[in-house]
Structure 1
Amino acid sequence: MNLQFIGIDPNTGDGESPTVWVDQQAKELVLQGWKPGTDLAAACAQFEVPGHAVGIPDHEAVIRIPARMVAMIREACDAIERPDVP
């Protein structure tokens, strides 16, 4: 796996480190964030929309990313869509 580091929460320094990477080979964003409280996870698990069963599968997770990282997520989206990167 060849991860491209995009950025880390600018407020890192207190032991927390939400981070954004791109996996160019898989064409996926890779996000590290905070685990949600049980209330948020339960609320997300209750959503039922077309193509999405109720609940969160064991192989998936809900995470929180601070809004101050939106620019990094946009950069990751741009990076993954670049045709010149394998």
Structure 2
Amino acid sequence: MTLTANRGTLVEPSGTSERTAIAMALGFIGIDSGTAQGNCPAVWIDDEKKEVLFQGWKADDETKAVCVTDSPQAESEGIVRLPYRMVELIRRVRDEAEGS
């Protein structure tokens, strides 16, 4: 089953209606243009929750240790790395948010 989200198409594998509701709330913005089609950094927006979702490379322990000195990390939080070339996608998120 293919679901059309606000700004992209999401493919729904077998799942529950709750998963379908979540998928429909997310709008796919794009992926890192510098990587292959799979396993690459990506950006989504959730219009209902007014949030941005990032998929990126997990930060190593040394990087996380430096980051938490500026902003302590909750158990439910994580630090990911995104390449500079994704700035344009992040600007699209800003434009979408300002249009909401």
CA distance in 1 between counterparts of 2:95 and 2:59 reads: 27
Highest relative contact order (Cα 8 Å, sep 6+), 1 or 2? 1
TM-score (norm 2): 0.70
Q: Summarize the alignment of residues 68-83 of structure 1 with structure 2, pairs less than 5 Å apart.
A: 68-83=85-100
Secondary structure at 1:29 match in 2: strand
Secondary structure at 1:6 match in 2: strand
* Structure with more strand by fraction: 2
- Residue 5, structure 1, aligned to residue 22, structure 2: no
Q: Look up the match of 1:24.
A: 47
Mapped partners of 1:58, 1:26: distance in 2: 20
> How high is the TM-score relative to the length of structure 1?
0.80
How many residues were matched structurally? Answer: 77
Task: Name the Cα RMSD after superposition.
Answer: 1.5
Q: Which residue of 2 aligns with 1:41?
A: 64
Higher helix residue share: 2
Identity value in percent: 39
* Structure 2 residue ranges without an equivalent (≥5): 1-21
